[in-house]
Structure 1
Amino acid sequence: ANPCNPAQLTPCAGPALFGGAVPPACCAQLRAQQGCLCGYARSPNYGSYIRSPNAARLFAICNLPMPRCR
């Protein structure tokens, strides 16, 4: 099964764009989809979320490494 499903990251969208509280569901999905994040970063639809200034804060709050995309 392909773990990459950007729709599952919906709980992260608000905090990624506007800041605010990060729900546990967001951290769970970021953790499950870590291998997918660079693909999303290159996507015209989702790249702005991954590259947003608040994205680093999400990863820090979730205790996850920021994806290093080449």
Structure 2
Amino acid sequence: ATCSAVQLSPCLAAITKNTPPSAACCNKLKEQKPCLCGYLKDPNLKNYVNSPGARKTASSCGVALKC
């Protein structure tokens, strides 16, 4: 998968509004998993990827945010 944070747009509601993630969100999150650590290093994306909402969403999707 190409690393593109835009691919995670289906997760936006889950991350920002604390709603349960959709299947589309989880699929994209799993697809982008190899990219997540890179996103954590990006000052523009870090706050989103490292937010409690993002961590909860990742956890709900069974994706570990371990870098």
Q: TM-score, normalised by structure 1?
A: 0.81
What does the per-residue CA deviation read over 1:32-62, in whole Å, with 9 as the maximum and x for residues that have no partner? Answer: 1111001111112211111101122112211
What does the per-residue CA deviation read over 1:7-54, in whole Å, with 9 as the maximum and x for residues that have no partner? Answer: 110011221122112111110011011110011111122111111011
Q: TM-score, normalised by structure 2?
A: 0.84
Runs of 5+ consecutive residues of structure 2 not aligned to the other structure: none
* Partner residue, 1:61: 60
CA distance in 2, matches of 1:20, 1:59: 12
After superposition, the CA RMSD in angstroms is: 1.4
How many residues of Structure 1 are paired with residues of Structure 2 in the alignment? 67
Structure 1 contact 13–49 (Cα < 8 Å) conserved: no
* Partner residue, 1:47: 46
Runs of 5+ consecutive residues of structure 1 not aligned to the other structure: none
